[in-house]
Amino acid sequence: MASESVGTAIIVIAGVILAAMVSAALFSQVSLMDSSMRLAVRSAQNRLETSISIVLVSLNTSSTGRYFVVYAKNTGSRAISSSELTQTDIYLTDAQHTVLTTYSSSEGYDKWSYVETLPNGVWDVGETLVIKVYNSTSFSIPTTVVIVLPNGVRAEYVYSG
C-alpha cells in the first residue's frame, strides 16, 4: 500500500514537471512568434507609410563629366531619415547597361549625393530632394532612373532627353 502511494506520487510529480517543461517551451515559442509578427507588422506599416515620386530628371554636363539631376519628392505620410537616405540605391539603365550607384557625400563615378530643400537632416513629407547621380557609363536615350529605399519602396522615371 505504501509502495503504491510512493509510485503514484512519483508519477504525479513527473507529470507536473513534464507539464511545466512543455508549457515553458510553448510559452517561449508563442513569445517568439509574437515578436516576429510585431516586426512583420511594423515593417509592413513602414512600407505603407512610405512613398516617393521622381518629379523630373535632367542630364547636365560639367568639367568633370555628365551627370543626372533627379528631383524626387517624398509623397508618403512619414519622414525619411538621413540614415535611410544614405542606404538608398539608385539604378541607371538603358538598352545596354545597368549601373548601381551608391550614396557618397562627395562627387565620384557611380555615386550619388543629395541636397535637401529644407536642410534639417530629414526628408520631410512633401519635400523635394535634388539628387546628383554621377556615372562612368555613357547611357543612350531613353535612360531609366530607379530609386530604391532600404525598405524596398521604389520610384522610376524614364528620361527621354
Helices first, then strands: H and E counts in the chain: 2, 10
- Whether residues 43 and 71 share a domain: the answer is no
Concatenating the DSSP letter of every residue in 47-81 gives HHH--EEEEEEEEEEETTEEEEEEEEEE-SSS-EE
| 151 and 116 together in one domain | yes
Q: Which residue segment(s) compose the domain that 81 sits in?
A: 51-159
Same domain, 41 and 57: no
What pLDDT score was predicted for residue 126?
94
How many domains does one find in the chain?
Answer: 2
Distance CA 21, CA 12 (A): 14
Contact 141, 160 (CB under 8 A): yes
CB 86 within 8 A of CB 103: yes
Three-state secondary structure call for residue 44: helix
pLDDT tens, position by position, for the chain (161 residues)? Answer: 566 777 787 887 888 888 888 887 777 777 777 777 777 777 777 777 789 999 999 998 877 778 999 999 999 999 999 999 999 999 999 989 899 999 998 888 889 999 998 889 999 999 999 999 998 778 888 999 999 999 999 999 999 98
Same domain, 7 and 55: no
pLDDT of amino acid 91: 96
